[in-house]
Structure 1
């Protein structure tokens, strides 16, 4: 199965939003977001204190807010880009 992604002007992947998802996160959402963030940090070799980690967290929240709830897909969509960005530092 081939998956293609759409990217915004800044180069971040965009998941088409849905009106059924609002921007309030419950405990399960927060646990999922934290888990995805931690896994992405580890795979990209980033520290929590880095600017890239902050950008990564924002990108994860953006995708989740847009309706993407699959943690593995979020990780797949973001890790490649953040590995490349880390390599440019």
Structure 2
């Protein structure tokens, strides 16, 4: 079994990736890997999260930009580290 399972949020952003050989053949196996609790998996499925198996070229095209913060799914904004001030918790 080759390739990757990618976790795709409702807007099409790839939010996670795992080697298919480490998880299994079914999308349900991948969903369990990312979301262990059944209730959370049901909620995510109803919200539109999905899991697709892709080969390396497709992973490079779709997953890599999202995982590196280079995609445009959320208005092109990237997350930046912000130093915490003392007393912030």
Larger radius of gyration: 2
> Greater strand percent: which structure?
2
> Taking structure 2 as the reference length, what is the TM-score of the superposition?
0.27
